[in-house]
């Protein structure tokens, strides 16, 4: 399927990377994705393949052993991977966000320690803001880090860690009162701690427990967990960037590129749904002709393809804006909002085109139908995107009367 979601102006290296990833997705991911997903099985072989392709280091600078590629290249790879299986893009995403935060905000020692091993996929990243009582309202975080000599002692419970079990480095956002007296604005009294741990479940480090996987309706294969800190001791040099009170900004920077990534996932899942719908519509006959020949179905296909194109264009625009060094929160928010909503709609239309068979686990669309809703929530819900978009629009279009 080559007609839709084309990207003009890519250089030779970008085209080569994308064609390699597309090939990998078609040969190694699509044929096994649904089976693995139904078994909720971690895609170990696929992850090994991604490591060999260098995808864990795609955006990590070359001096640290990565490929030093742009956000656009990364997002286009994610789009391809999500076309194959969204869970696989989830495995890379939190790793990518942590690597990005280290690159942008880490001390030299932190970069030297983690980025080369992250580029190889030996150290794998997860990031943790959400808690049982909060997701959208990050300022309400209650997990706390308190200084004790050369260490910080962390206490609190975190929720919804993508790759919580398989990761070995978690960027954890906590409140830290050191130097930030009572009454300091919440976003100025938060710190990102770089927490190293063994992969796995149970007590993975003294004071740190990862209970089992959360059982989810979709987005299976990739592990999503809680994280419990009970007197977890972290050396002071594992404060991201070396200074407390910067955590909120660091995380929001990470989430902003994460939003382009979620938009790219929405594009990939929508493309796959379109491919499945347009193929089925030409095979299934009703009233003496393929259902694709009924105008109602053609209209559905037209709407689906238009949404695939629009979402792709907005996602590419948001990535290019960030790559050019400009602020892209407006574009990233719009792309994430539109791509995730369109993804849900395109998947729903492809599901309807399949008639009763869409409800059968034998058909791939059944899996996509359970996966698409996650994109409406992750990296900020639609309501949160609209809050960001609205605020930015009022900044840009300030009434001058
Ligand atoms: C599968 C999965 C993986 C995840 N992975 C991670 C991860 O790796 N790391 C991490 O930190 N988090 C992760 N999350 C958490 C995710 O970011 C949150 O679920 C999300 O931000 C929403 O927060 P919430 O679930 O607490 O909903 P709430 O914030 O409680 O929101 C509930 C509803 O109220 C709406 N709402 C909230 N505030 C407002 C407002 N001011 N105005 C209007 N409407 C509002 C929301 O849009 C939503 O519809 C993951 C979640 C899922 C489901």
Q: Is the dihedral of CA 283, 287, 293, 299 positive or negative?
A: negative
- Is the CB of residue 323 less than 8 Å from the CB of residue 70? yes
Q: Is the dihedral of CA 183, 185, 189, 190 positive or negative?
A: positive
Task: Please state whether 69 falls in left (phi above 0), alpha (psi between -120 and 50) or beta.
Answer: beta
Report d(CA 344, CA 372) in Å as an integer.
Answer: 5
Q: What is the per-residue pLDDT for 179?
A: 65
Report d(CA 38, CA 132) in Å as an integer.
Answer: 27
Angstrom distances, CA of residue 240 to CA of 71, 245, 369 = 22, 10, 38
Q: Cα 296 to chain center, whole Å?
A: 35
Distance 265 CA to ligand 1 centre (A): 18
Strands 208-210 and 224-235: antiparallel
- Is the CB of residue 352 less than 8 Å from the CB of residue 297? no
Report d(CA 389, CA 330) in Å as an integer.
Answer: 5
Helix axes 364-377, 86-105, angle to 10 degrees: 30
Report d(CA 401, CA 175) in Å as an integer.
Answer: 41
Q: What is the per-residue pLDDT for 201?
A: 98
Report d(CA 5, CA 339) in Å as an integer.
Answer: 12
- Which residues are CB-neighbours of 98 under 8 A, at least 6 positions away? 118, 125, 126, 127, 169, 170, 171, 254
- Is the CB of residue 376 less than 8 Å from the CB of residue 219? no
Report d(CA 36, CA 222) in Å as an integer.
Answer: 10
Atom of ligand 1 nearest to the CA of 162: 8
Distance 377 CA to ligand 1 centre (A): 6
Q: What is residue 307's three-state secondary structure?
A: helix
Report d(CA 130, CA 43) in Å as an integer.
Answer: 25
- Is the CB of residue 21 less than 8 Å from the CB of residue 82? no
What are 131's strand-pairing partners? 134
Catalytic residue among 303, 341, 379, 395: 379
Query: What's this model's pTM, rounded to 2 decimal places?
Result: 0.96
Give tens-digit pLDDT for 86-132. Answer: 999 999 999 999 999 999 999 999 999 999 999 999 999 999 999 99
Atom of ligand 1 nearest to the CA of 137: 29
- Which DSSP category does 124 fall into? -
> Within the chain, which residues score under 70 in pLDDT?
1, 179-182
- Which DSSP category does 214 fall into? P
Atom of ligand 1 nearest to the CA of 216: 1
- Is the CB of residue 99 less than 8 Å from the CB of residue 25? no
Q: What is the per-residue pLDDT for 183?
A: 72
Task: Tell me, yes or no, if 379 is annotated catalytic.
Answer: yes
Residue whose CA lies nearest to ligand 1 atom number 24 = 135
Report d(CA 367, CA 25) in Å as an integer.
Answer: 17
Strands 285-286 and 289-290: antiparallel
CB-based pocket (< 6 A), ligand 1:
94, 127-130, 134-137, 160-162, 216, 219, 224, 374, 377-378, 380-381, 383-384
Q: Is 149 exposed, middle or buried (0-12, 13-18, 19+ CB in 10 A)?
A: exposed
What are 285's strand-pairing partners? 290
Q: What is the per-residue pLDDT for 400?
A: 86
């Amino acid at each position: 399927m080559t007609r839709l979601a084309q990207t003009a102006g890519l250089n030779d290296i970008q085209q080569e990377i994308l064609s390699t990833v597309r090939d990998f997705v078609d040969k190694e991911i699509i044929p096994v994705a649904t089976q693995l997903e139904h078994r909720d099985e971690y895609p170990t072989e696929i992850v090994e393949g991604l490591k060999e392709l260098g995808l864990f280091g795609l955006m990590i600078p070359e001096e640290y052993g990565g490929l030093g590629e742009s956000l656009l290249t990364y997002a286009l790879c994610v789009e391809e991977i999500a076309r194959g299986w969204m869970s696989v893009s989830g495995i890379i995403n939190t790793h990518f966000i942590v690597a990005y935060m280290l690159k942008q905000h880490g001390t030299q020692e932190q970069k030297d320690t983690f980025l080369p091993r992250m580029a190889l996929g030996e150290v794998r990243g997860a990031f943790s803001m959400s808690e049982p009582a909060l997701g959208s309202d990050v300022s309400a975080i209650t997990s706390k880090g308190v200084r004790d000599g050369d260490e910080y002692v962390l206490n609190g419970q975190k929720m919804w860690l993508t790759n919580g079990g398989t990761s070995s480095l978690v960027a954890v956002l906590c409140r830290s009162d050191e130097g930030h007296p009572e009454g300091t604005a919440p976003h100025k009294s938060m710190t990102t701690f770089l927490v190293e741990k063994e992969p796995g479940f149970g007590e993975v480090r003294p004071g740190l427990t990862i209970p089992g996987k959360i059982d989810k309706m979709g987005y299976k294969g990739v592990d999503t967990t809680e994280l419990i800190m009970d007197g977890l001791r972290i050396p002071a040099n594992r404060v991201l960037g070396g200074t407390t009170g910067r955590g909120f900004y660091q995380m929001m920077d990470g989430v902003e590129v994460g939003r382009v990534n979620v938009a790219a996932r929405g594009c990939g899942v929508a493309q796959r749904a379109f491919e499945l719908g347009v193929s089925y519509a030409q095979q299934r006959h009703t009233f003496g002709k393929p259902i694709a020949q009924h105008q109602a179905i053609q209209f559905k296909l037209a709407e689906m393809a238009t949404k695939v194109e629009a979402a792709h264009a907005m996602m590419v625009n948001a990535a290019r804006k960030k790559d050019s060094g400009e602020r892209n929160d407006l574009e990233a928010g719009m792309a994430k909002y539109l791509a995730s909503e369109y993804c849900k709609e395109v998947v729903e239309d492809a599901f309807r085109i399949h008639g009763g068979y869409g409800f059968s686990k034998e058909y791939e669309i059944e899996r996509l139908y359970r996966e698409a809703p996650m994109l409406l929530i992750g990296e900020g819900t639609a309501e949160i995107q609209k809050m960001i978009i609205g605020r930015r629009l009022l900044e840009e279009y300030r009434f001058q009367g």
